[in-house]
Amino acid sequence: KDGIPVLRWHCRASAVGRDDAALVSDAEDWIGSELQPAMTRLSPELMSCFGEDFGRSGDLTVIWPLQLATNLVRRTPFIVELRDVPFKQQAQVLFYIVDHLPRFIGGAMDARGNGQYLAEEAAIRYGPRIEQVMLSVDWYRENMPRYKAAFEDGTIELPRDANILADHRLLKMQQGVARLDERRNREVEGGGQRHGDSAIAGALAYYASYSNHQEYAYTAVNRRSSRMDLNEDSDERESLTASRIWGQRLTRFRSGSW
């Protein structure tokens, strides 16, 4: 879909060794200039959730919010991609987003490896609405058919962005299960590489949208600036998998992909 922004923040090597105050200030500047304007795309009437795939160096961290429209279409207001961003600043960005998601019902976060740190911090802050997901073959087997069916049925929005599309093309059928081809990394313009990061974030976001969450009465703290305090229904389980498993390819993805 046209008009959905993909917000990218790449911390250069010069960020290493800077003091905490400078890093916090850098994150505030990026939040103010890039993220705050995109947050106006959120509808205050709709329930919100998110998915997150973690990366620290090499791979990206991708945060993908969704809002549930009344027709059950999962609207994508924006996507955030963080490259080489320090752990605390990743938390700073994530907390700003989630603090301002209207009617927040839940998030699903990649809790493998170093991702466990950010997932745990989010679970401390937002409680049981955060699911710390250990991605596995079984998880892919159960949840990727639903994600694919959402594209086929038009019940999720994908930004018109070449890198996001290319990430989804890295999903391949392997022994009957759609998952990332672990052998493939794709170099991108400006340095760095991608390994299907946004595809996993999108799948986690979609999973969060139909998991058995309930809406909590949570009110974000008003702040004069974006400075973060880092210490701080099943009715929607559409029967999307019954007839739409992996026999058909998404027409907008090339032959051979999921």
Q: With respect to residue 57, please indicate whether it lies within any of the assigned structural domains.
A: yes
At 211 the pLDDT is 82
Q: Give the pLDDT confidence score for residue 194 in this predicted structure.
A: 84
Evaluate whether residue 89 is within a structural domain: yes
Distance separating alpha carbons of residues 239 and 4, to the nearest angstrom: 27
Q: What is the pLDDT of residues 159-174, one digit of tens each?
A: 999 999 999 988 888 8
Residue 202 buriedness (CB in 10 A; 0-12 / 13-18 / 19+): buried
Structural domains in the chain (count): 1
Let me know if residue 170 belongs to a domain: yes
pLDDT at 199: 94
Report d(CA 75, CA 42) in Å as an integer.
9
pLDDT confidence of residue 202: 97
Look at residue 136 and tell me if it is in a domain. Answer: yes
What local confidence, expressed as pLDDT, does residue 13 receive? 61
The confidence score (pLDDT) of residue 246 equals 33
Q: Which domain holds residue 12?
A: 6-236
Low-confidence residues in the chain, pLDDT < 50: 218-221, 223-256
Chain segment 23-73, per-residue pLDDT in tens? 999 999 999 999 999 999 999 999 999 999 998 877 899 999 999 999 999
The enclosing domain of 156 has a CATH number of 3.30.420.240
pLDDT (0 to 100) of residue 193: 81
